[in-house]
Chains A and B, each alone.
Chain A
Amino acid sequence: MKISRLVAGVTALLLASSGAALAAPTTADPAVSSRAAYATIEGTGSTWSQIIVDQWIADVDSNGIKVVYTGGGSTKGRKDFSQASVDFAISEIPYQGTDETGQADTSNGRAYSYLPIVAGGTAFTYQLKVGNELVRNLRLSGETIAKIFTGQITNWNDAQITQDNNGRAFPSKTIIPVVRSDGSGTTAQFTSWLDKAYPAVWRPYFGRSGLTSYYPRKNGSNFIGQSGSDQVMNTISGFAGDGTIGYVEYSYPVNKNYPVVKVLNKSGYYVEPTQYATAVALTRAKINQDKSDPTKYLTQILDDVYSNPDPRAYPISSYSYMIIPTGASDSRMTTAKRQSIADFLYYSLCSGQSKAGPYGYSPLPLNLVQAGFNQIALLKKADADVDLTDRDVTTCNNPTFDGKNLNKNVLAEVAPNPPACDKTGAGPCGESTGQNNQTPSPGGETDTPGTDTPTSGAPSDPGSPTTGPGSTDPGFATDGEGNGGDGGAVDVPGGGAPVFDPETGEVVAGSGSTDSTSGGDAIFANPTLVSDRPLDSRTFGWVAVIELLALVLLPGIVVASLRRRRREGAST
């Protein structure tokens, strides 16, 4: 049925074009038959959203929709769109009018509109080793992050970082911020947050107010600039990356199984940017609804997201936008291309959102999907032959929708509360970040902060055991060397600065048996072994062997000698 309707649409188009052929002097050849309802569309832009966009492109291939997307950064995307060398662009920020270097950042007269396509959290991924172990549960407040990325906090043992981690001090080690060197929407999102939330820190560093797509690096600073999100990840996760911290979309560390910072939110909880935390935060996003100004219409106003008082919210959450051409006489557009854009978006906004979570993004809520459909309608306005029949929210397979109540954001409602150990002055929690394993609270259960279980209740939920023992890092070199279990033992010799548990006064690393699974006592640096140099691990392997031997034999020896002493004492 629908196919035949499509065919009818194509036929109509052909008739129309042959009609035009009569009118225009420069056309000839009427009625060249064409079967294809779709034509390849191409785009460039954001690497922030590229991971999921690439997957959507693979998905719609089976619908006959061919999409070419090559990333390159939001700045490049907006520029390519303005030069009409692409059919669409993806960007985290709208056209700025004039960019930070005084160059024009406009669509160059090309008619367009914005359309939110996916939400996500800008995550801070880092490599911080204590001894030979990767810290996986670092917590930072927004202010600390702002100071790190403006060069005010330069050492991991800074008192403010210690305070964020509830008194757990990290060894003295220089902080090396890694930023994007290319024009980047991720940078724009990050600096937009800095500018809104911490103007007193950001503006003196930047020299003025506002956001920027090119992160400013001071001469002589130790900031590292890298091109593209992949390279930021490579720099941080490399062996030389100890001490680095950088910002990328959450999906990058998730795909690499690398830790991210839990960021302090307004209500005093340190939160990881999971799909739930992002969805909750974005319930406070304001979308510019002023249709009179199409250059701003539907763009995001995130001020209330940054200060969302919900304890589950991740503050630096945002949307990524597609920029689509809406002009009736757009030089690159044809009916087939408009149809491709419309149906690619229909898939992306609906079924495509169902995989946002596993990939480290967050699905769009209904109001934005609805707004997106309103923008898609502009394609039909530009070209009456575009078929939008039945493409609307009622047929949309979007996981955030509740079929009965379209105003509910299902995801935000099932989002779990943060564990109490993530609260300021408590914890820190022992579980690892960057594994995207947070599970929803089952059926509206209100999980009051205070149940200090990293696995967040719900033992019956099949979602929780995703991070089974060892499964999370099978790629790391030393797993095969038998060091998996003795992480606690190697901590002290490598660490230089043993860490004391403030409650018990014991060396934390020595108390390796109280891991996070036993609930209460979170440890400070989760002993996840990283891919360290094999020589090191061999050495430590032997240390471990000796320590284990000691562990086994010492009690017996002590008992034996005690007994002998007692016997001697008794016999005298």
Chain B
Amino acid sequence: MRRSLASLGALTVTALGLALPMEAGSASVVGAVVAPSGDAFSATRTVERSFVEADGTTTTVSRHEITVTADHTQNLRGRERVLISWSGAQPSGGRASNPFGENGLQQEYPVVVMQCRGTDDAGVPESEQLRPETCWTASVAQRSQTLRSSSESTWVHDVHNSEADKQRVSGMDPIPADECPSADIAPYFTHLTEFVAANGTVYPGCDSDSMPPEAAVGAAFPAAEIAAFTDSSGRGEVQFEVRSDVENESLGCNDTVACSIVVIPIAGISCDAPAASPSLADRSCRKQGRFQPGSSNFANDGIDVAVGPALWWSESNWRNRFTIPVTFGLPPDTCDVLDPRAPTGFYGSELLAQAALQWSPAYCLNKARFKFQLNQLSDVAGFNLMLSGEGPAAVVSSKHENTGGDPVGYAPTAVTGFSIGYVIDRPDNAGEYTDLRLNARLLAKLLTQSYLGSDLGRGHPGMGGNPLSIVTDPEFVTLNPGLTSTNQEAAATILSLSNASDVIEQLTEYIVNDDDAMAFVNGEPDPSGMVVNPAYEGLGLPLQEIPLLDTFVPETQNTCRQANPSVYFSQLAAPVTTMRKIAESLLDAWPNVQTRCDFDLSTQQFKTGRIERQSFGSRFMLGIVSLGDVERYGLRSAALETKPGTFVAPSDKGLAKAVALTEQEEKRGPFVLDQAAVSKAGSAYPGTMVVYTAAKVRGLDEENAEKVAQFIRVSTSEGQRAGSGNGQLPGGYLPIRSTGPTSKLYDSARAIAHAVEAQAPARTPEPPTPVDPPTDPVDEPTDAPSSTTPPPGGNVADLVIPDLDPPGTSDPATAPEPGAVPVANDAPVVDTVPTAATQAETSGIAGRLFPMLLLVGFLGLMLSTGSRFFVRPPRVPS
């Protein structure tokens, strides 16, 4: 403990000293996980199934040479995913809609992947060796067979089983009568595979009450073990999620308790000699499957148990196991819940969430630092809390309007971004689709709700001829050939955010930059004749938030829908409040489409709700996610089109390229990524976003100013070391370094840290601009030319002109609305830099309208006064 504190302290010293030499550890953080050498696992073995015939000879039914690999096995963290892949296995049949836990039991020839405590090393004490009793399952049905009829008791005929295991009752011995009173009833067959927890407690596993607490039915924590599917070429892969003792205390894997991932390719039970007249059980043992390879079993029909996953513990299967030893890393030191320091919260962007999770322990564990927290809110809400002083700093990723009097600096803190996450299965159980490509027009179609969803959407006026979903859109099919053409509602939409976000702003800027996409939004049909949803035609992009503009309520005979008349397209879109919810929806393949409508018996009412989770093999879902979540949860990201024909997926390289294109338009301001430059460059990732710590460089009290400066300095030095430890930068973020393309961010952050710390008092006033900015732009032009009495506001009138003169400083588009609260109550000086909150998108006709009108009015005034002197006809004395 003390040593780690000391080393942290040493690190801090280094970090806060001169610029940290950053060349070390330039590991890739976005994209594929690179396993250090020696960390991976690979093994090959021959797996056979054989039957002993009545005459005593042995027939080999099948033989497969199977190779299993794991991409990394060392220093794992809880819930980390390990890629397990295999080749040469028997193709699977009867795919389940969900292969995890007990849902995966009705499949034939699957590959069972599970986590067990112990290793397969004969050299270690028996208590540290793995056995079926130390392997985790989330349900009884996966580990025990209770009260089976003789024809179902296939394991009794497993030629490799010991005599004891061939008895009517086998496994746990004796069966505890108090916990399992009904497990042993003749003539039924029972085999209990008890679970032995890390602390020694034995759970008999005869019903759901005699299972470990982590295995509760319907638990919020999903099963990790999987009966995975092998495709027709004998290959398959899964991202297996390991659990440490923090997630699964009973299993109890940690840095000192060794564990393994066990992979059991189910080849079928090898059967002993049949009776003279083969019994039902003999016959069922010799079954070889009723489902075709590659077929699905979404109806959960019965299977031939002899080739199913439920008997993984039977010796014929268990002996074929691949044991992949894994080690868990030391859990990171954590903050003390009794720390008396009050936490300091920075409010803002979710883009920083994954980094903040790793960073905050590096603050609380160091007495020289403040106790940092990230409070996730929408960017604009966080920014306003910073302006009002509720939070010392905001976390944002674009420029926001500074309505206060004090200048604000944007210190670059992390380089990350968003991506279009997806989970898509290829047809015919051929595995997941891994290289989705999208362009701006497809995104525009999704965001403008221009796909019909289902027949319910066909009645929508003005776009009845559009495809039902993206999978039948020729543009999508051209980019992503070979996918299913079966429409489903979830494929008609992309799960997005309901609150304002800088992420949506950047995504829509990407669309704005594409002429084809904007032509589509503005009403021009695409080459296949698809048109924009009329409710969205001419939508003024970019936006911080995609509004739900449709009003179409379908006419239907469905009584439930008649009782719940709802806007169908809004139910399809159903945006949510955080990107984390979107990431979780993608992980579960559970779209947030709210079109389910059924009768609830308990309340006797028709009600609407979320549709079911999608079935494995027919998943199709898109969502807007943060790159931090992509890496944390192992999601897939679509490649976005930049130049015509060039598609860029998020990667270190693509992020770095985009950072190189950014430009800081004003001192201490954010670095703006011009999407036109992105499409010109080709290789830059359009979803790249810089996350800033925005804080006042004047008017912040000293204590908070020091905290902010410290945070900026620590996060741009120590916080940019890639890794999974405390204070390090997790995957999904590009390290900011003092050299290379990110050096300008580094320099700017350092400069702003200094400025925040210094909190320079008001500089020598430039032209002393008045306090009250004009609150009503409509009023001003009428005042100026007609020069009537000043409005009740007092001293405003004669000061208006200088304030309005510099074009851009008072853009009518961003002018205050009537009804807003006056700003800068006490500020003597309006700093011109931050109040010039003019964004490119707010210009237009109206943007120039105000100055032009002023000019016109002024000319009119000059004319009318001038006419008095020059044009007036000479008075003729009468």
Does A298 make an interface contact (CB < 8 A)? no
Does B256 make an interface contact (CB < 8 A)? yes
Contact of A35 among B216, B256, B608, B792 (CB under 8 A): B256
Contact of B376 among A55, A84, A515, A529 (CB under 8 A): A55
Does B340 make an interface contact (CB < 8 A)? yes
Q: In the complex, what distance in Å separates the CA atom of A256 from the CA atom of B499?
A: 5
Q: In the complex, what distance in Å separates the CA atom of A65 from the CA atom of B361?
A: 12
List 28 contacting pairs A-B, 8 Å CB cutoff, sorted by A.
A29-B198, A63-B334, A86-B216, A181-B607, A227-B608, A230-B576, A234-B574, A238-B548, A240-B570, A337-B249, A354-B343, A359-B377, A390-B338, A430-B819, A465-B825, A466-B821, A468-B823, A470-B820, A471-B400, A472-B384, A474-B401, A474-B500, A475-B544, A485-B776, A513-B778, A534-B538, A548-B849, A555-B786
Query: A310: which B residues are within 8 A, CB to CB?
Result: none
Does B795 make an interface contact (CB < 8 A)? no
Contact of A481 among B605, B609, B813 (CB under 8 A): B813
Query: A36: which B residues are within 8 A, CB to CB?
Result: 244-246, 249, 254, 331
Q: In the complex, what distance in Å separates the CA atom of A332 from the CA atom of B551?
A: 48
Q: In the complex, what distance in Å separates the CA atom of A238 from the CA atom of B546?
A: 10
Does A311 make an interface contact (CB < 8 A)? no
Query: B374: which A residues are within 8 A, CB to CB?
Result: 58
B interface secondary structure, majority? loop
Does A174 make an interface contact (CB < 8 A)? no
Which of A142-150, A217-225, A281-289, A313-321 lies at the binding interface?
A217-225
Does A505 make an interface contact (CB < 8 A)? no
For the complex formed, measure the closest distance between the CB of B462 and the CB atoms of chain A, giving whole angstroms.
12
Query: B384: which A residues are within 8 A, CB to CB?
Result: 466-468, 471-472
Closest chain A residue to B390, Cβ basis: A358
Q: Which A-B residue pairs are the 7 nearest by beta carbons?
A: A482-B846, A468-B403, A469-B816, A64-B334, A515-B818, A238-B548, A475-B544
Does B603 make an interface contact (CB < 8 A)? yes
Does B375 make an interface contact (CB < 8 A)? yes
Does A80 make an interface contact (CB < 8 A)? yes
For the complex formed, measure the closest distance between the CB of A89 and the CB atoms of chain B, giving whole angstroms.
11
Does A158 make an interface contact (CB < 8 A)? no
B534-569 interface code vs A (CB 8 A; 1 in, 0 out): 010111100111011111010000000001111100
For the complex formed, measure the closest distance between the CB of A221 and the CB atoms of chain B, giving whole angstroms.
9
Query: B538: which A residues are within 8 A, CB to CB?
Result: 533-535, 538
Q: Tell whether A485 pairs with B815 under 8 Å between CB atoms, given A84-B216, A234-B570, A551-B782.
A: yes
Does B828 make an interface contact (CB < 8 A)? no
Q: In the complex, what distance in Å separates the CA atom of A551 from the CA atom of B778?
A: 9
Which of A38-46, A192-200, A262-270, A420-428 lies at the binding interface?
A38-46
Which of B622-630, B706-714, B855-863 lies at the binding interface?
B855-863
Q: Does B545 contact A32, Cβ atoms closer than 8 Å?
A: no
For the complex formed, measure the closest distance between the CB of A425 and the CB atoms of chain B, giving whole angstroms.
22
Q: Does B846 contact A28, Cβ atoms closer than 8 Å?
A: no
Q: Does B403 contact A226, Cβ atoms closer than 8 Å?
A: no
Q: Does B776 contact A512, Cβ atoms closer than 8 Å?
A: yes
Which of B218-226, B262-270, B291-299, B309-317 lies at the binding interface?
B218-226
Which of A163-171, A405-413, A486-494 lies at the binding interface?
A486-494
Q: In the complex, what distance in Å separates the CA atom of A35 from the CA atom of B607?
A: 48
Q: Which of B199, B381, B543, B841 has the most CB of A within 10 A?
A: B199
Q: In the complex, what distance in Å separates the CA atom of A80 from the CA atom of B338?
A: 31
Q: Does B853 contact A63, Cβ atoms closer than 8 Å?
A: no
Chain B residues numbered 708-735 whose CB sits less than 8 Å from any CB in chain A? none
Q: Does A355 contact B401, Cβ atoms closer than 8 Å?
A: no
Q: Does A528 contact B825, Cβ atoms closer than 8 Å?
A: no
For the complex formed, measure the closest distance between the CB of A262 and the CB atoms of chain B, giving whole angstroms.
15
Does B844 make an interface contact (CB < 8 A)? yes
Q: How big is the A interface, by class?
A: 35 or more
Chain A residues numbered 545-570 whose CB sits less than 8 Å from any CB in chain B? 545, 548-549, 551-553, 555-556, 559-560
Q: Does B335 contact A182, Cβ atoms closer than 8 Å?
A: no
Q: Does B815 contact A464, Cβ atoms closer than 8 Å?
A: no
Does B525 make an interface contact (CB < 8 A)? no
Closest chain B residue to A13, Cβ basis: B199
Does A249 make an interface contact (CB < 8 A)? no
Does B104 make an interface contact (CB < 8 A)? no
Query: A226: which B residues are within 8 A, CB to CB?
Result: 566, 594, 608
Q: Tell whether A3 pairs with B336 under 8 Å between CB atoms, given A62-B364, A235-B566, A477-B539.
A: yes
Q: Does A80 contact B334, Cβ atoms closer than 8 Å?
A: no
Does B812 make an interface contact (CB < 8 A)? yes
Does A307 make an interface contact (CB < 8 A)? no
A4-46 interface code vs B (CB 8 A; 1 in, 0 out): 1000000000100110010000111110111110111011100
Contact of B331 among A4, A35, A181, A240 (CB under 8 A): A35
Contact of B217 among A54, A85, A479, A517 (CB under 8 A): A85
Q: Does B567 contact A512, Cβ atoms closer than 8 Å?
A: no
Q: Does B776 contact A431, Cβ atoms closer than 8 Å?
A: no
Q: In the complex, what distance in Å separates the CA atom of A46 from the CA atom of B216?
A: 21
Contact of A518 among B605, B792, B841 (CB under 8 A): B792
Does A96 make an interface contact (CB < 8 A)? no
Q: In the complex, what distance in Å separates the CA atom of A526 from the CA atom of B381?
A: 21
Q: Tell whether A32 pairs with B200 under 8 Å between CB atoms, given A181-B605, A225-B564, A534-B539.
A: yes
Q: In the complex, what distance in Å separates the CA atom of A408 from the CA atom of B566?
A: 48
For the complex formed, measure the closest distance between the CB of A518 and the CB atoms of chain B, giving whole angstroms.
6
Apart from A332-B216, A535-B538, what 18 extra A-B contacts exist at CB < 8 Å? A34-B199, A58-B353, A62-B361, A63-B337, A222-B565, A227-B594, A240-B567, A255-B377, A390-B338, A431-B821, A463-B390, A468-B823, A469-B773, A474-B400, A475-B544, A518-B793, A549-B853, A553-B856
Does A447 make an interface contact (CB < 8 A)? no
Q: Does A533 contact B535, Cβ atoms closer than 8 Å?
A: yes
Does B387 make an interface contact (CB < 8 A)? yes
B797-830 interface code vs A (CB 8 A; 1 in, 0 out): 0000000000000001111111111111110000
| Total cross-chain contacts (CB, 8 A) | 461
B592-616 interface code vs A (CB 8 A; 1 in, 0 out): 0010000010111111111000000
Chain A residues numbered 492-548 whose CB sits less than 8 Å from any CB in chain B? 512-513, 515-518, 523, 526-529, 531, 533-535, 537-538, 541, 545, 548
Query: A230: which B residues are within 8 A, CB to CB?
Result: 498, 574, 576-577
Chain A residues numbered 229-263 whose CB sits less than 8 Å from any CB in chain B? 230-231, 233-235, 237-241, 255-257
Q: Does A534 contact B387, Cβ atoms closer than 8 Å?
A: no
Q: Does B389 contact A463, Cβ atoms closer than 8 Å?
A: yes
For the complex formed, measure the closest distance between the CB of B506 and the CB atoms of chain A, giving whole angstroms.
13
Contact of B540 among A225, A466, A477 (CB under 8 A): A477
Q: Does B1 contact A38, Cβ atoms closer than 8 Å?
A: no
Does B373 make an interface contact (CB < 8 A)? yes
Query: B187: which A residues are within 8 A, CB to CB?
Result: none
Does B380 make an interface contact (CB < 8 A)? yes
Does B127 make an interface contact (CB < 8 A)? yes
Q: Does A480 contact B199, Cβ atoms closer than 8 Å?
A: no
Query: B515: which A residues are within 8 A, CB to CB?
Result: none
Closest chain A residue to B213, Cβ basis: A332
Q: Does B200 contact A29, Cβ atoms closer than 8 Å?
A: yes
Q: Tell whether A351 pairs with B342 under 8 Å between CB atoms, given A481-B844, A484-B813, A534-B539.
A: yes
Query: B793: which A residues are within 8 A, CB to CB?
Result: 518
Q: Does B200 contact A255, Cβ atoms closer than 8 Å?
A: no
Q: Does B570 contact A517, Cβ atoms closer than 8 Å?
A: no
Q: Does B577 contact A255, Cβ atoms closer than 8 Å?
A: yes
Closest chain B residue to A17, Cβ basis: B199
A54-93 interface code vs B (CB 8 A; 1 in, 0 out): 1100111111111011100000000010011110000000
For the complex formed, measure the closest distance between the CB of A532 and the CB atoms of chain B, giving whole angstroms.
8
Does A455 make an interface contact (CB < 8 A)? yes
Q: In the complex, what distance in Å separates the CA atom of A559 from the CA atom of B867?
A: 12
B327-368 interface code vs A (CB 8 A; 1 in, 0 out): 000011011111010110101000001001100110010000
Q: Does A559 contact B786, Cβ atoms closer than 8 Å?
A: yes
Does B378 make an interface contact (CB < 8 A)? yes
Does A214 make an interface contact (CB < 8 A)? yes
Closest chain A residue to B379, Cβ basis: A474
Closest chain A residue to B773, Cβ basis: A469
For the complex formed, measure the closest distance between the CB of A26 and the CB atoms of chain B, giving whole angstroms.
4
